[in-house]
Amino acid sequence: MSDRYQSLLLFGPPGVGKGTQGKLLGSIPGFVHLATGDIFRALDKNSELGQQFMAYSSRGELVPDELTIKVWRNHVEHLMNDGCFDPERDVLVLDGIPRSLNQAKTIGEHIDVLAVIHLECPDINEMITRMKRRAEQQGRHDDADENVVRKRFEVYKDETAPVLSCYDASLVTKINPIGTPAEVLMNILKVVVPIYSKNFANPLA
């Protein structure tokens, strides 16, 4: 079994809908959604790791690269051990990683990127409204403080946006995230289904 994972990257600023689209894709056989933010938020808040995550997220800062990659690798191994991810027939849908140039370099030792879906929305205020709504609906306290949210956009612009330069332009497709989840998903599937079919056998065969 290969120690490299065929992967699809969901890329875009906070609140753009990466998590929603990742969950929808992850419900389709052959696609396994892995959201780094969800992994961190699921940590025991009283554990050392959980407290470290809360310290960074409450300030709108990125979790250090070494810690992020360690948690990510452990989670992927658990998915494989539990039979939830088979590298021979599944593509990892990565949401929230890589978020820095160093992460892109480090994680590049473990994944083969088949495509980058760039969810791009120029209206930051629309994204902030989405995130406030999400904070109320999901109890995500890291999205409730507008100052923290705006700090996250600054971090995204300075540290995460440059990550796109790590990937060949032919791998990157811009998708408009405005619309119903089904409409956005349909546009994403037009890109990723042919790529999946080219690299994997029918997962139900």
Q: Which residue's structure tokens are 């546009």?
A: 187
The answer to whether residues 181 and 27 touch, using CB atoms and an 8 Å cutoff, is no
Per-residue pLDDT tens digits for 56-97: 777 767 778 888 888 888 889 989 999 999 999 999 999 989
List the CATH number of the domain containing 63.
3.40.50.300
The answer to whether residues 99 and 163 touch, using CB atoms and an 8 Å cutoff, is yes
Q: How many structural domains is the chain composed of? A: 1
Taking residue 69's Cβ as centre, other Cβ atoms within 10 Å add up to 20
Per-residue pLDDT tens digits for 99-109: 889 999 999 99
Q: Across-strand partners of 32? A: 92
Per-residue pLDDT tens digits for 116-168: 999 987 777 777 777 777 767 776 666 667 787 788 888 888 888 899 999 99
Report yes or no on 130 lying in a domain: yes
From CA 170, how far away is CA 38, in angstroms rounded?
A: 29
Report yes or no on 205 lying in a domain: no
From CA 143, how far away is CA 148, in angstroms rounded?
A: 7
Q: Which domain holds residue 100?
A: 5-199
Report yes or no on 204 lying in a domain: no
The answer to whether residues 119 and 8 touch, using CB atoms and an 8 Å cutoff, is no
Report yes or no on 160 lying in a domain: yes
Q: Could you tell me the pTM of the whole model? A: 0.80
